[in-house]
Structure 1
Amino acid sequence: MKAYYWESHHGNFGDDLNLWLWDALLPGFRDVHPEILLVGVGTVLNPALLPAGQKKLVVGSGYGYGTPPDIGNPAEWDVRAVRGPLTAAKLGLPPERAITDPAAMITDMPEFQSLPKVHRKTFIPHWESAEFGMWEAVCEPVGLAYLDPRGEAKSVIRHIAQSELIIAESMHGAILADAFRVPWIAVSTSRSINNFKWNDWASSVGTTYEPRYVPVSTRAEAVAKRSRFWGVRFDGEQPAPEATPQNPGGEVMTRRPPSQTGLRGMAKQFLASPSVLALWQAGRAEPRLSPDNVLEERKEQFRTMLDGIRRDYF
């Protein structure tokens, strides 16, 4: 089998973890049935993404964009589990196929267990916010560690596990925090966010998604998200990254923000002040955590489902 994942030019740890997760959950999967595509973590159940004419083994993926695929042909589809009940309903699957996001199983891996806490509060934005915003600079006065979701996946996950609180715009930031039993607070920089996938996952583990709104931090971010910045709506322009360092080494990005000196830097800091205030307020909200028994029940269902795959394919 070959694992499918959405590969982005910017990198996104929630997608990139597919590169090694299935070697832990289904050891040896790469050596069997080369004609089958394993479709795992991600909002990828979309006919525009997945190839027609090839059998797909779906193990916890989610729907969220475009047209739901027609999974009626067993020669092309073997859907063992999906991310949550909303995806199951969209695909016409029985409720028992809605388990949870496979990323929750990462906590079973020895390398992520018994890690010491070294970060008090961490903010992990959506990749698009990281690409076009200046969130490192916003986090500094708020006293938050900044965690870039475009960093190397295992490093990002270790940082989440070693935090005492996660403030997440990244959905997989919240999923991993919840799995590691790290309290989390959801935020969003867009009032028009597609919350289907968040609600899909949250309902699978018995919690709710109620994000706190945080304004965008730069004009470029507003352009990318077709949103407002200081009361002005930006739509249809081409954004350019602002004040966001690149990550040539592929490691987790938790560096201090670039110095904002001079008139231009001072102006940027002033314009980002609503983001600073809103993020500070968000960090003092009541955090969430799914019930222990619900999460463990879903993980046990996932283990049982994996046992079934081993019997049928290995």
Structure 2
Amino acid sequence: MVARLDLARPVFPRRRRLVAIGSVIHLARGKDVIWGAGVNGKMLHALGRVQTLDVRAVRGPRTRERLLSLGVPCPPIYGDPALLIPHLMQADHDGRPQERDIALTHVPNLNDRESHGPVTLDPRSSLEDCIDRIRRSELVVGSSLHGVIIAEAFGVPAILIAPKHEDMFKYEDYYGGTGRQSFQVAGSIDEAVNAELNDPPVFDPAALMGAFPVDLWRA
């Protein structure tokens, strides 16, 4: 009797996982595969057991430099997977661009969330609500890195507000991975609204998608 293989489910070697988004590389172990994840600047001391990782792509050059310094091979393929969201969403049937009928959206980091009135998007909202609000905005500001990333993925200008509880490592990593060595950092919503806009990201979706570890889904 021949066993049937369910190709809809990933076939992982023992204890091998895909680590794909966020500042979570310090949580990876063994021969886990890294695709688009980054190093957490607050957890640099916890990177002692990453030498055997299988790295296909990382969020940005700061993560790559840190991994190389630890002896981990790391290709210069950059990008946060959230940048691919527009490529995964179904395009409008009539081909028209998304209407931007919201002047301003403020997206705080989870640890910075406070009541800021109607312009603030709660980062705990559903993914669908977050994407819809961000892509309908004329300007996005805030300390949420993925608020900035999703906005830029859809071509919406975004200004980072300095986080109160996060290390700047991950922000510098993302901007560096999208071709920008300098970027605006505001101290408040009002300051962000009046800041000079950043250059748009330089990003090759084909390179990141081409590095996706499809081999994990093959017997």
Is the Cα contact below 8 Å between 2:58 and 2:79 reproduced in 1?
A: yes
The superposition leaves residues 203-235 of structure 1 with CA deviations (integer Å, 9 ceiling, x where unpaired) of 010123331113xxxxxxxxxxxxxxxxxxxxx
Please tell me whether residue 202 in structure 1 is matched to residue 175 in structure 2: yes
Q: Structure 2: how far apart are the matches of 1:152 and 1:109? A: 17
1:30 to 6, 9, 28: 9
Q: Distance in 2 between matches of 1:78 and 1:189?
A: 31
More RCO (CA 8 Å, sep 6+): 2
Alignment of 1:110-125 (within 5 A): 110-111=89-90, 114-125=97-108
What's the RMSD between the two structures over aligned residues?
2.4
Which residue is 2:115 aligned to? 134
For the residues of structure 1 that align with 2:55 and 2:140, how far apart are their CA atoms?
A: 32
Cα deviation for residue 34 of structure 1 reads: 6.3
Deviation of 1:280 after TM superposition, in Å, equals 2.2
- State the SS of the aligned residue for 1:206: coil
Match of 1:44 in 2: 24
Kept in 2, the 8 Å contact 1:112–1:161? The answer is: no
More helix per residue: 1
* Aligned residue number for residue 207 of structure 2: 301
Letter in 1 for 2:214: R
8 Å Cα contact 2:56-2:77 kept in structure 1:
no
- Secondary structure of the 2:190 match is helix
In structure 2, how many angstroms separate the alpha carbons of the residues matched to 1:202 and 1:147? Answer: 22
- Aligned match of 1:285: 195
Q: Which 5+ residue runs of structure 2 have no aligned equivalent?
A: 1-6
| TM-score (structure 1 length as normaliser) | 0.58
Shift of 1:80: 0.8
Aligned amino acid, residue 116 of structure 1: E
SS of aligned partner of 1:163: coil
The letter for the 1-side match of 2:98 is L
Identical aligned pairs, as a percentage? 28
In the alignment, the residues of structure 2 paired with residue 31 and residue 129 of structure 1 have an alpha-carbon distance, to the nearest angstrom, of 36
Equivalent of residue 161 in structure 1, options 100, 123, 135: 135
Q: Is the contact between residue 37 and residue 56 of structure 1 (CA under 8 Å) also seen in structure 2?
A: yes
Partner of 1:151, secondary structure, is coil
Distance across 2 between alignment mates of 1:123 and 1:112? 25
Structure 2 match to 1:83: 59
Instruction: Compare CA radii of gyration and give the structure with the larger one.
Output: 1
Counterparts in 2 of 1:158 and 1:30: CA distance versus 1, 3 Å: farther
Which residue identity is paired with 1:150? R
How do residues 53-68 of structure 1 correspond to structure 2 at under 5 angstroms? 54-64=30-40, 65-66=42-43, 67=45, 68=47
Q: 1:127 to 1:312 in 2, by over 3 A?
A: closer
What CA deviation, in whole Å up to 9, does each residue of 1:37-65 have, x standing for no partner?
Answer: 1111110111xx34x4x541111110023
The question of whether the paired residues in 2 share the 8 Å contact of 1:119 and 1:164 is answered with yes
Shift of the alpha carbon at 1:282?
A: 2.2
State the distance in 1 between where 2:160 and 2:87 align: 24
Q: Report how far residue 123 of structure 1 moved.
A: 0.8
1:152 paired residue number: 126
Confirm or deny: 8 A CA contact 1:115 1:161 kept in the other structure: yes
1:167 Cα deviation from its structure 2 partner? 0.8
Cα displacement string for residues 73-119 of structure 1 (whole angstroms, at most 9, x for unaligned residues): 3xxx2111111110011111567334111110111013476432221
The farther-off stretch of 279-288 and 197-206 is 279-288
How many equivalent pairs are there? Answer: 200
Q: Contact between 1:106 and 1:112, CA under 8 Å: does it hold in 2? A: no
| Distance verdict in 2 for CA 1:134–1:312, change over 3 Å | closer
